Amino acid sequence: MRATRGAVIALATAAVALLLFHPLREASPTGDDYLFLSLGRHLDDPLLLLVQDSTASYFFRPVVMLLWWATSAATLDPAVHYAINIGLHVANGLLLLALLRRMSISPAPACIAALAFVAHPTAFSAAAWLSVRFDLVSLAFGLAALIAVDAASSRPPAPGVARFGAVVGLTLACVLSKETGFAIAAVALLAAAWPAPGRGATPRSRAALAGTIAACIVAALAIRWMVSSRARAARARPFAIAGSCASPRSASRSRRSRRSHRRRWRA
């Protein structure tokens, strides 16, 4: 019975994925897509994406930026990249189904909810924009992290090292894929601190799991702050050097000119 149900879900998933991809098979990139598609051809050292803001965009999303580099280096065919986005979107629907089933929701309502998520125009239209891959990957890691937290909370008396490691890795990947991942990490923190009734974890293990997730959030925020600070300092340096090269006489003339301009404007 369980094998038959799994086969039906797999076939339905493949059918939905093909239906969603069909209108995109001839689509072209647009807007910001070209920036990310160029990474594989114009960035020699992809490891820079893991330690700095390499695109002058004031965000730090190393996980998906590295994924963009790998996929754009492999191919520039838009159909392949749209297929990747649709695949991620459908995978998120399956992860949502798995999470709902872990929450003891019966198969029929869980399948309907997952199908509604995948087929809803809002979610699908977002997945149909290549640049939204950040959201798709962050959500995938976030849903997997919630499943891992529930699995760790269900193991009495305490989760093993492997389950702790899964929670840590998935949480960090979620928040380092896009900033919205911090909201999912906060939900994971609450789920670890206050699990559903019937879970076998002890208060001590719950506190340890919640503390681990909180440490991941703090570490990710600290890394983002350091990278952003360094990026702002690097961009401000040319202006600072230009200002320091100005002579005192020219600076004084500039101040007098501004004062006279203000007087004329008031008059």
Note down the domain range covering 180: 2-266
Q: How many domains does the chain have?
A: 1
pLDDT digits (tens, 9 = 90+) for 65-98: 999 999 999 999 999 999 999 999 999 999 999 9
Q: What is the pTM of this model?
A: 0.82
pLDDT tens digit string along 171-207?
A: 999 999 999 999 999 999 999 988 777 666 788 888 8
- Cβ-count burial of 238 within 10 angstroms (0-12 exposed, 13-18 middle, 19+ buried)? exposed
Of 99, 113, 97, residue with least CA distance to 5: 97
Give every residue of the chain whose pLDDT is below 50, as ranges: 238-251, 253-254, 261, 264-265
Secondary structure of residue 255 in the 3-state scheme: helix
